[in-house]
Structure 1
Amino acid sequence: MSSCSSSQVDRQRVHRMQEAVSLVSLLVLGSAGTIQGSVHVVPHAPTHSQEDFDLSRFMGQWFEAAVVSTCPHYMQRKRGNPVIVAVQLQHVASESNFTMTATTIRNGSCKQTSTVYGLTNTPGRFFHHVARLGADVDSQVVRTNYDEYAMMLLLSTEKPSGNKTTIVKLYSRTKDVSPAALDDFQTLVRRHGMSEDTIITNQNKGDCAAGEPLTEPTSQPRPPA
């Protein structure tokens, strides 16, 4: 897997084979990134993060409910497995980073990965670098009410190519997302130049924990006619 990039017509086939490694593979199921312990400063980049962001309230359990990206190969892969991802965020007050542990279903079994995100000088904005992809990832919590939903914008810049990828994600505290949150998410997606028709809504395919069998969701009995 490699980056999403533009190319000449006669080289598109080769470059498209290299696109799948964009930023989006990072936060979806987190490839672990290595960062320094100090607070990161992200220079010369626009800030979209929510004002008065409260990191402590943002921590805890989330579910990735919907996603859209500018990387076509990532979108194709997500459509093949549009599963809700359980995400656990943990922060130690004395440290300038937090850990995201993602648990999801791959090939019928439960998988778990962790990524470490460095805090920046802007509340609600985080950073990590993925060495094997050569990608700097700028993640921002654009909007959240902490108790129900959170919307995140991820901007990735790959080096030395300079290729950029955008991803927008909707997180929910439960596996059910309110229509109002989905409407706001669609507005955010349009604001960043993507069509709401391309949004992938993840499906509940069961509960799982790493190393344990998949527990499929139980069907609710229908009320009598």
Structure 2
Amino acid sequence: MKIAFVTVFLGMLYLIDAQASIQPQKSFDLQRFAGKWYRVGFAYDSPGFVPYRSKLTISMGIVEPKENGDVDMTMWNLKPSSCQRKVYVYEKTSVPGVFNYYSTRHKRVKDVTVVETNYTEYALVFKHKKFNKEYTQVALYGRTKKLRSDLIEKFKAYAIARGFSRESILTPPPADNCPSSGY
């Protein structure tokens, strides 16, 4: 019993430390970050995600800042029968580059941190539900569907440094006609 408690306690300390070490992009500029992004890389280690790995494709999103500092994030994902559109409201926090949103799928509030971006080419984004590794994700976004190999390697190294296995890191193929050209 004592060993189990120590193991759980040390695990919680690790997660707290891992979350605390996630810092947003310095001097994050939401206006420069706005616009079209493609999710070209994804790291997710939830066992429930394994059956869907082979079905994942590059998805497209539009970041639209609101006057109050929140963000509407519209995402398109290819599903078996259609191209699905979802709108997420990312609420601003007191830290630029860090947002909160309610995941209807997981029924939890998640934090979204833009950890690194050059605004014109790529962004590394870290999503998590505090104290629950099951909901931790790292994503690589690009302004285009294809990024330089050094940026893909940077993303993979970042995900591995955050505890993801190589098997949990994906760089999926593009989706055909999702969204359609008129989205």
Normalising by structure 1, we get a TM-score of 0.66
Segments of 5+ residues of structure 2 without an aligned counterpart are 1-18
Return the structure number with greater strand share: 2
What RMSD over aligned residues (CA atoms) do the two structures have, in Å? 2.1
Q: Secondary structure at the match of 1:112?
A: strand
1:116-155 Cα deviation digits (max 9, x unpaired): 0001111111101236733120110111111110010111
| Identity among equivalent pairs (%) | 28
Deviates more, 1:53-62 or 1:201-210: 201-210
Return the structure number with greater helix share: 2
Structure 2 counterpart of 1:206, which letter?
Answer: D
In structure 1, C-alpha distance between the alignment counterparts of 2:72 and 2:89, rounded to whole Å: 5
Match of 2:126 among 124, 128, 153: 153
Matched, 1:55 2:25: no
1:62-96 Cα deviation digits (max 9, x unpaired): 0000101131212431x13121101011012x213
Deviation of the 1:107 alpha carbon: 1.0
Equivalent residues of 1:69, 1:75 under 8 A apart: no
> What is the aligned partner in structure 2 of residue 104 from structure 1?
77
> What is the aligned partner in structure 1 of residue 59 from structure 2?
85
Segments of 5+ residues of structure 1 without an aligned counterpart are 1-44, 214-225
- Runs in 1 of length 4+ with deviation above 3 angstroms? 130-134
Equivalent residues of 2:59, 2:175 under 8 A apart: no
Mark the structure with the bigger radius of gyration: 1
In structure 2, C-alpha distance between the alignment counterparts of 1:171 and 1:132, rounded to whole Å: 21
Match of 2:51 among 76, 80, 83: 76
* Alignment map for 1:49-198 (pairs within 5 Å): 49-77=24-52, 79-92=53-66, 94-130=67-103, 133-157=106-130, 163-164=132-133, 165-198=135-168
* Total equivalences in the alignment: 162
Deviation of the 1:198 alpha carbon: 2.6
Equivalent residues of 1:68, 1:75 under 8 A apart: no
Normalising by structure 2, we get a TM-score of 0.80
> What is the aligned partner in structure 2 of residue 209 from structure 1?
179
